[in-house]
């Protein structure tokens, strides 16, 4: 799939527009697990991410999300990494339990 197809996908554009009014602090810590889980589902469906790589992707996305939020909020990056790892593990367990 071409990157321009992904960027101009009407479903993705609608979802991004819906996120514009959201406060980013709502995704700190385990509250971001549903967003991470949905991002992994997107990677699996659109980018053919292997199922075996989903837990690793969950932890990686959780860490990236919480490091970004830690930098935005001015908190410790170490806390962001720890919270991100916990978020990713929670998201990957959520995926396993929903199967």
Q: Does residue 11 fall inside a structural domain?
A: no
pLDDT tens-digit map of 6-38: 555 666 556 555 556 666 666 777 888 888 988
Determine the structural domain holding residue 47 and report its residue range: 22-98
* Structural domains in the chain (count): 1
Kindly report which listed range (26-35, 69-78, 90-99) carries the lowest average pLDDT score: 90-99
Cut 0.85: pTM above it? no
DSSP per position, 19-75: GGG--GGGGSGGGGHHHHHHHHHHHHHHS---GGGHHHHHHHHHHHHHHHHHHHHT-
pLDDT tens-digit map of 32-71: 888 898 899 899 988 899 988 999 999 999 999 999 988 9
Q: Does residue 53 fall inside a structural domain?
A: yes
Q: Does residue 32 fall inside a structural domain?
A: yes
Q: Does residue 7 fall inside a structural domain?
A: no
Q: Does residue 94 fall inside a structural domain?
A: yes
- Per the CB < 8 A criterion, the answer to whether 17 and 46 are in contact is no
Residues 6+ apart with CB under 8 A from 54: 40, 44, 92, 95
Q: How far apart are CA 58 and CA 79, in angstroms?
A: 17
């Amino acid at each position: 799939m071409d990157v321009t197809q992904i960027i101009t996908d009407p479903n993705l554009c609608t979802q991004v527009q819906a996120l514009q009014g959201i406060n980013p602090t709502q995704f700190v810590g385990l509250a971001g697990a549903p967003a991470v889980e949905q991002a992994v589902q997107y990677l699996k469906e659109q980018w053919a991410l292997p199922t075996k790589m989903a837990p690793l992707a969950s932890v990686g996305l959780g860490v990236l999300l919480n490091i970004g939020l830690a930098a935005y909020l001015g908190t410790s990056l170490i806390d962001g990494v720890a919270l991100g790892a916990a978020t990713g593990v929670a998201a990957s367990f959520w995926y396993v339990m929903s199967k």
